[in-house]
Amino acid sequence: MNFFEYARVALESLKANRLRSVLTMLGVIIGVAAVILLVSLGEGTKNYVEEQFAGLGSNILIVTPGKIETRGGPPVIGAAKHKLTLSDSRILEKKGYLFGGVAPVVFGTAEVRYGSRSRNVPVLGVTPSFSPVRNLHVEIGSFVTESDVEAKRRVCILGRTVKRELFGNANALGQIVKVSGGRFRVVGIMQRKGVSLGIDLDDIVFVPVRTAQDLFDTDALLEIILSVRNKNDIESAKELAKSLLFKNHNRHEDFTITNQAAMLSSLYTILDTLTYVLGGIATISLLVGGIGIMNIMLVTVKERTNEIGIRKAVGARDRDILVQFLLESTALSSSGGIAGMLVGVLGAYGIRLLVPKLPVEVPSWAIVLAFTFSVFVGIFFGVYPARKAAALHPIEALRYE
Amino acid sequence: MGSAPVSEPLLRLRGVTKIYEPDGQEVVGLEGVDLDIHSGDFLAVMGPSGSGKSTLMHIIGCLDIPTSGSYEIKGIPVSRLSPEELARLRNREIGFVFQVFHLLPRYTALRNVELPLLYAGVGREERTGKALEALRAVGLEDRRNHLSNQLSGGQKQKVAIARALVNRPSLLLADEPTGNLDTKSGDELMEILTRLNGEGTTIVLVTHNQAIARRAKKVVYIIDGRLVAKEEYRELRE
């Protein structure tokens, strides 16, 4: 008896008990849909986080002043509390052969005014290397230049939101705005970048770093951002920066170097684990669905004992009976699997429509996995009833009413 | 009566004994049965219910194997065969007709007849052709697309005969084939069996009905699991 005959018999039998088949499938449908939905949710959360960090640029080390003690306990009294200065960034630039760019950042907030409109925004004092290192670029005009920094020129580059709020649709380039009362010429407008980690990257004004130091009357830097030329050198670059700064700070380690990529990758590992755990929990419901299949197959075998006897009397081998019932349980579970896939994918799109912020995505591996698993469930939970059917003695089976 | 014995019988039973142990208690189903059935025979096995005639039929039909003794089909020793080989023998060498028909209710007459061919691995077209031919032989070709549970008892049993014959087995084994039929259908059925035997089909018929047994060429009597002579049978029955 060939495969198509077995399949035909299996499908006929499922059709003959339509309601029962659908109810049995429901267990698998819910299981597969749950796997796909939960995994998609996990994946969506990961996407969301990824999007938040997307503006950060890659291969980044960030130097911040002060030492973050990971060991806890009170800080040592009298420990030097040094700040980061432009001298640090100059050293890093000069001797940091592993760095692609060194970007010192001065931070402050200021009122920016144009005509009658004003806005309180973060002002970042930066050097030209900030743009490539942080992956933030001007759309029109130019970014801060080397000579802007050296000459402490009073020029500024506006984020998209600032530009819109102050100028509307009018041309801003070349106009004079007042930053904390000082006159600044607008030389550039940034590209739209969106929100990252709660900071609206479009609601920022950039000025040359030394101009900012004058503006906020400080020589301290918020941070120095380092981009590392080669991804594999990140750890050695971190060590290099550490030793250079250590020397420059009179042998005090009063700064912290953070490896963004390492932090992110451990975060992603956590999110991946979360996805697998969710998928695993959903898989349990798929197993419960499998038990439902086994239950109904046992009933089916009992009901069709006479049929099994007839088939055996006319020459069906044990193997023929086994395959027939195995195929029936597999047909149950795999059609449940297909329906569950549809429900799961539609559900994921439903969530996407309802919660647009969460970029729910159905990973193809989840679909393949859920379906494969549902087929496997049908085989696994079908084996026992099918073996029971195959092992029936033909005479007993024929006598059974 | 009966044809001249051929040198090698189709079926040969020697000292066939079957003992059941349903609840640890031994129940003798058959005891030392010797029987030869030759090609072209039409043999009736007569006996009251519980006499062991069904057991005999199951053993002849390879649905069961004897506890002791030997049984050969065409010289093949059946008792030593695996379940798989027994299935093959049932498929190729034996056609069953049961008192309660045993057709698959949701299948059409045609698909019921096709069933043995399916397990013989015959391809679709050849299967349909052979099944139609078998239905034609019992005069039910026009009912081929009826579901078997839409057929009358007589028609069902004809379909069963067609199914039994479709693989051209060596032996047609009928267990009270008229038991669930009215007299007219029963007569009609016996005529078909007689005709098939005339055309060369070997038939073993199990019955407790004297009138039915009389249609066979030869009758053996069975009581308490033993084959007995006609006279002894009469005595014991009275």
A77 lies in some domain = no
**Contact between A312 and B91 using a beta-carbon 8 Å cutoff:** no
In a domain, A72, yes or no: no
| Displacement of CA A238 from its chain's centroid (Å) | 26
Is the Cβ–Cβ distance between A154 and A148 less than 8 Å?
no
| pLDDT computed for residue B112 by the predictor | 95
* Structural contact between residues A370 and A341, judged by C-beta atoms closer than 8 angstroms: yes
Q: Tokens 């989840």 map to which residue?
A: A366
Q: Which residue of chain B is at minimal alpha-carbon distance from A13?
A: B106
* pLDDT (0 to 100) of residue A58: 66
- Place A1 in a pLDDT band, splitting at 50, 70 and 90: low
Comparing CB atoms, the residue among A1, A316, A395 nearest residue B63 is A395
Tens-place pLDDT, residues A125-147: 999 999 988 888 999 999 999 99
CA distance B194 to B201: 9
Q: Are A373 and A280 in contact (CB under 8 A)?
A: no
A43 and A114, same domain (yes or no):
no
Residue with tokens 């008792």: B79
Q: Do B116 and A307 touch (CB under 8 A)?
A: no
Q: Which residues, other chains included, contact A401 with Cβ-Cβ below 8 Å and sequence gap of 6+?
A: A306
Q: Are A105 and A125 in contact (CB under 8 A)?
A: yes
Q: Do A318 and B87 touch (CB under 8 A)?
A: yes
- Which residue among A16, A312, A398 sits closest to B87, beta carbon to beta carbon? A312
Same domain, A121 and A234: yes
Residue A78 has a pLDDT of: 44
Residues of A in contact with B61 (CB under 8 A): 313
**A311–B96 C-beta distance less than 8 A:** no
Alpha-carbon span B116 to B160, nearest angstrom: 11
Domain-located, residue A62: no
CB proximity A2 to B under 8 Å: yes
Name the most confidently modeled range: A50-64, A82-96, A300-314. Answer: A300-314
Do A220 and A95 fall within a single domain? yes
Question: Is A313 within 8 Å of B61 when comparing Cβ atoms?
Answer: yes
Task: Specify which residues A207 forms β-bridges with.
Answer: A125
Whether residue A394 lies within 8 A of chain B, CB to CB, comes out as: yes
Identify whether residues A169 and A277 lie together within a single domain. no
| Sign of the torsion angle spanned by Cα atoms A214, A220, A223, A225 | positive
Residues A182 and A227 in one domain: yes
Distance CA(B94)–CA(B201), nearest Å, equals 11
Give which of B184, B185, B236, B193 is closest to B213, Cα–Cα.
Answer: B193
For A310, which of B64, B102, B118 is closest by C-beta distance?
B102
Residues A52-85: tens digit of each pLDDT: 776 566 688 889 888 765 544 455 544 445 788 9
Within the 14-33 window of chain A, which residues sit less than 8 Å (CB to CB) from chain B?
16
Pinpoint the alpha helices (H) of A17-145: 18-53, 86-95, 130-134
Interface test with B, best of A13, A314, A324 (most B CBs within 10 A): A314
Choose one of A230, A253, A276: the last residue of a domain.
A253
pLDDT at A79 (0 to 100): 45
Residue of B nearest to A311 (CA): B115
Q: Is the minimum CB–CB distance between A320 and chain B shorter than 8 Å?
A: yes
* Burial (CB count <10 Å: 0-12, 13-18, 19+), residue B187: middle
Residue A71 placed within a domain = no
Q: Are residues A90 and A228 in the same domain?
A: yes
A275 within domain boundaries: yes
CB contact under 8 A, B119 and A12: no
Contacts of A395 in chain B (CB under 8 A): 58, 63-64
Q: Are residues A309 and A274 in the same domain?
A: yes
CB-CB under 8 Å, A319 with B121: no
Contact call for A2 and B121, based on CB within 8 A: yes
Is the residue at A182 inside a domain? yes
Are A312 and B90 an interchain contact pair (Cβ–Cβ within 8 Å)? yes
Is the alpha carbon torsion for A363, A366, A372, A374 positive or negative?
negative
Residues A189 and A155 both lie in one domain: yes
Confidence (pTM): 0.74
* A182 SS3 class: strand
Q: Where residue A107 falls among pLDDT bands split at 50, 70, 90?
A: very high
Q: Which residues of A touch B87 (CB under 8 A)?
A: 312, 315-318
Determine contact: B101 vs chain A, CB below 8 A.
Answer: no
Among A253, A284, A306, the domain-final residue is A253
How many Å apart are CA A280 and CA A35, to the nearest integer?
8
Q: Is A177 domain-assigned?
A: yes
Contact B118 A5 (CB under 8 A): yes
SS (H, E, C) A279-297: HHHHHHHHHHHHHHHHHHH
With beta carbons less than 8 A apart as the criterion, state whether A230 and A221 touch.
Answer: no
Pairing of strands A182-190, A155-158: parallel
* Spans of chain B, pLDDT less than 50: 1-3, 6
CB < 8 Å & 24+ apart, contacts of B134-138? B134/B162, B134/B163, B134/B165, B134/B166, B135/B109, B135/B110, B135/B159, B135/B162, B137/B162, B137/B165, B137/B196, B138/B162, B138/B192
Task: Search chain A and give the residue with CA nearest B116.
Answer: A314
For position A258, what pLDDT does the model report?
85
Q: Does A46 touch chain B (CB under 8 A)?
A: no
Yes or no, beta carbons of B87 and A310 under 8 Å apart: no
Same domain, A224 and A325: no
Shared-domain flag, residues A243 and A270:
no
Question: How distant is the Cα of B15 from the closest Cα of chain A, in angstroms?
Answer: 22
| pLDDT tens-digit map of B35-70 | 999 999 999 999 888 888 889 999 999 998 899 999
Q: Which range of residues forms the domain containing residue A113?
A: 83-253
Size of interface A-B (CB pairs under 8 A): 60
- Residue A233 forms contact with B (CB below 8 Å): no
CA B238, CA B233: separation in Å to the nearest integer? 9
ipTM: 0.92
Q: What is the mean pLDDT of residues A112-136?
A: 91
Reduced to 3 states, what is the DSSP secondary structure of residue A344? Answer: helix
Q: Closest partner residue to B106 among A16, A306, A312, by Cβ?
A: A16
B73 SS3 class: strand
Residue A66 has a pLDDT of 83
CA angle B160, B163, B164 (to 5 degrees): 85
Q: Are A357 and A382 contained in the same domain?
A: yes
A319 and A195 housed in the same domain: no
The answer to whether the Cα torsion of B119, B120, B121, B123 is positive or negative is negative
CA–CA distance from B14 to each of A7, B48, B221 (Å)? 43, 23, 16
How many domains is chain A partitioned into structurally?
2
Residues A125 and A212 sit within 8 Å (Cβ to Cβ): yes
Query: What average pLDDT does chain B have?
Result: 90
* Residue A59 forms part of a structural domain: no
**Residue B231 to chain A, least CA–CA distance (Å):** 32
Which among A225, A253, A281 is the end of a domain?
Answer: A253
